[in-house]
Amino acid sequence: VGATVCADKVDVADEAAMRNWIVSCDADAPLDRVFANAGVGTGIEDEANVRRTFATNVGGVVNAVLPAVELFRRRGAGGQIVITASIAGYGPLKSCPAYSATKACVKMWGLALRGMLRTEGIKVSVVCPGFVRSRITERNTCPMPFFMEADKAARVILRRVDRNVGLIAFPWPMRLASWGLSILPFWMNELVNRMLPEKVAAGRPKVL
């Protein structure tokens, strides 16, 4: 209530631009919570899209988090980082190799940062949502069980971020299924993956 909102357009893959923007935002009003929410879907797994996915989903998150941590450390007054990963980061998914890999990367990095930064009073939460309405899910052609509207997902995230929950993964049936898939022996994981539905993207041949 009563928040002042300022929107800017910045290339998250540009390290210098992101650092300058975050420092500028902090100068206007000291930051106490930073959401690193950069993310794109890969679509066709060609070289250009795979590189764009890694540059955005990993590089964009890193470029948001590191300057924020630096500012929090300099002030010595805590602060909170919230990194958006995905349920897709729980295991390798044949339908979206680059997307699942990048989300697994930021999930693990964020959870490790939480432990490392705890003694400095800096909080870190990692968000792993299932299917939530967005520009990414609007293009999905696969089934999306337990689909959630964005406002409902936002309420879930904020409640748990306020409680400093480390891993915020939802909805719980998706979290349970993804966790179960991730702990299977790889040959079983691979077998289950073969049975998962394909995402059909224009220009990508369907492979059985």
Summarize pLDDT for 49-108 with one digit per residue, the tens. 999 999 999 999 999 999 999 999 998 878 999 999 998 888 887 878 999 999 999 999
- Measure the CA–CA gap between 168 and 160, rounded to whole angstroms: 7
Contact 198, 96 (CB under 8 A): no
Q: 91, 130, 125: which is closest to 110 by C-alpha? A: 125
Q: What is the pLDDT of residues 22-52, one digit of tens each?
A: 999 999 999 999 999 988 888 789 999 999 9
Q: 191, 160, 6: which is closest to 91 by C-alpha? A: 191
Contact 127, 83 (CB under 8 A): yes
Catalytic residue among 21, 90, 99, 131: 99
Contact 81, 69 (CB under 8 A): yes
Q: Say whether 99 is catalytic.
A: yes
